[in-house]
Amino acid sequence: MVFKLAVLTIALAAFAGAANYKRVTCPDGVNTATHEACCAFFSLRDDLQTNLFEGECGEDVHESLRLTFHDGVSFSKSGAFKGDGADGSILLFGNIETNFSENLGTDDGVDALAPFLTRHLVTAGDLIQFAAATGLANCPGAPRLQFLVGRPNATIPAEDGAIPGPADTVDTILSRFADAGFTSNEVIHLLASHSVARSDTIVPDHQAVPFDSTPFNFDTQFFLEVLLKGTAVPFNRTTPNTVGGEVDSPLASEGEMRLQSDFALARDPRTACEWQSMVDNQFLMMENFRTAMMKLSVVGQDTRKLVDCSELIPEPKPAVKLHATFPAGTSRFEVQQTCRAPFPVLRTDPGKATTIPECPDGDVNLADCPS
C-alpha cells in the first residue's frame, strides 16, 4: 500500500512537472531557461570559458574538476568528520582547507574560481560543480555531466583528515569513500578524472607531470597505462620524493608519473576488475564517470531542493581517441593483470618510445605544446 502510494505520488509529480513545463525568460532578456534558478549561469558560463578555461581542457579545467573531490568527500555518514560535503566550503574557507596536506595544490583552483564568486550571484558549491562540468566539456571524449543548482553556501569548513591521499592504502581509501557514501566501484569510476590530470606538487620544481600520455583527452589511456609495469620516476630522480605518494611509472623518461594510490587500486582484488573493465571501453568509462559524478556533486545535499540546470552544460567535444593503444615500446607483456577477465587486445603505437609534450604551466592544450 505504502509502495503503491509512493508510485502514485511520483507519477503525479512527473505529470505536474510536464504540465508546468514552460520556459522562463531570464532577467538578461536574452536567454530562456526551464527555471529562473538557471539564469545566473549563462553569464557565468561565458565568463569561465572566456576568461579562465579559454575553451581548452587545460590546467584550470583539471584543477576545477579536482575541487569537486576535495569539496565533496569531506562528508562523513558516521559523523567522524564535520564537513557538509559538496557545499563549497573549500572555496569559502580556502585559507583553512587548502592547507590540509591532502589538499596540496588545491589553492590554485580556489584562487582561480574565487573572482567568479564575486562577479556572479551563485553559491560556492554550485560554482565548483558548474566550473567542473563546463570545463570538462572542453575535454574530448568527456561525458556531459548533470548540473543541479541550489546548494546553500557552506557554514563550516571541512575537517582535516577526511580526504584520502596518494600514499594511503586501498583499505583506507575505500573505507573513507564508503563513509562519504561511495562504493568501491564508484571510487574507480571517479578516477576516470585522472585521465585529464597532472601533478605539480609531488615532483620537484612544480613541473606539471601527467598521469597518462594523453592528459588533455578524457580517454581510457589512463586505465591502461596505470596497469603497465613501472620502471622509474620522472626526471632522472632515483627515488620517489614523497612519502609513498609516488611510485614508478612505465613512461618516466617521457615525463609520466604515477600515484601509489592509482597503482594499488588498479591491482587490488576488490577493484582490479572494475579498473580493467574500462580499458579500451570509452563509452563505459564516460557513463560510469557521469553517474558517479551525479553522486559526488550532491554529497550531503538535499536533492529535492535542487533545480536541474543541466541544459546549461555544453555538449562535450567528441573523443579523438576511441581505442586505447600500448604506448610505443610497451606491449601486453608489461600488463600487470590481477583481474581474471580476458584483457582487451590492443595495438601498440609505432615508432620510438612515446613522447609526452612538456608544456609550461598555465592554460595550455596539446596543440600548443612544443613538439
Ligand X SMILES: *[C@@H]1O[C@H](CO)[C@@H](O)[C@H](O)[C@H]1NC(C)=O
Q: Binding-site residues for heme b, please? A: 194
- Is position 276 an interface residue for ligand HEM (rule: CB under 6 A)? no
* Residue 95 contacts which entry, ligand X, ligand HEM, none (Cβ below 5-8 A, type-dependent): ligand X
* Residue 202 contacts which entry, ligand HEM, ligand X, none (Cβ below 5-8 A, type-dependent): ligand HEM
For residue 192, give the DSSP letter: G
| CA max distance for the chain | 68
* Residue 153 contacts which entry, ligand HEM, ligand X, none (Cβ below 5-8 A, type-dependent): ligand X
Tell me the binding residues.
71, 85, 87, 89, 194-195, 212, 214, 219
Residue with smaller CB distance to ligand HEM, 260 or 330: 260
CA–chain centroid gap for 228, Å, is 22
- Whole-angstrom distance, CA of residue 269 vs CA of residue 148: 35
Q: Which region, judged by CB under 6 A, interacts with ligand X, from 79-87, 117-125, 171-179, 202-210?
A: 117-125
Q: What does the chain come to in residues?
A: 371
Q: Which residues contact residue 251 at a Cβ distance below 8 angstroms, ignoring those fewer than 6 apart? A: 213, 225, 327, 330, 353, 354, 356
Q: Which helix (H) or strand (E) holds 142?
A: none
Q: Which region, judged by CB under 6 A, interacts with ligand X, from 60-68, 91-99, 136-144, 221-229?
A: 91-99
- Is position 105 an interface residue for ligand HEM (rule: CB under 6 A)? yes
The long-range contacts involving 190-193, CB below 8 angstroms and separated by at least 24 positions, are: 190/69, 190/289, 190/292, 190/293, 190/296, 191/222, 191/262, 191/265, 192/218, 192/222, 192/223, 192/278, 192/285, 192/286, 192/288, 192/289, 193/65, 193/66, 193/69, 193/289
- Is position 193 an interface residue for ligand HEM (rule: CB under 6 A)? yes
- Is position 99 an interface residue for ligand X (rule: CB under 6 A)? yes
Residue with smaller CB distance to ligand X, 122 or 196: 122
Residue with smaller CB distance to ligand X, 124 or 167: 124
Would you name the residues annotated as active-site residues?
70
C-alpha cell of residue 61:
579545467
Judged by CB under 6 A, the chain residues 189 through 248 that form the site for ligand X are 235-236
Q: Which residues bind ligand X (CB under 6 A)?
A: 95-96, 99, 117, 123-124, 153, 235-236
Q: Which residues bind ligand HEM (CB under 6 A)?
A: 59, 62-63, 65-66, 68-69, 105, 164-166, 173, 190-191, 193-194, 196-202, 259, 261, 296
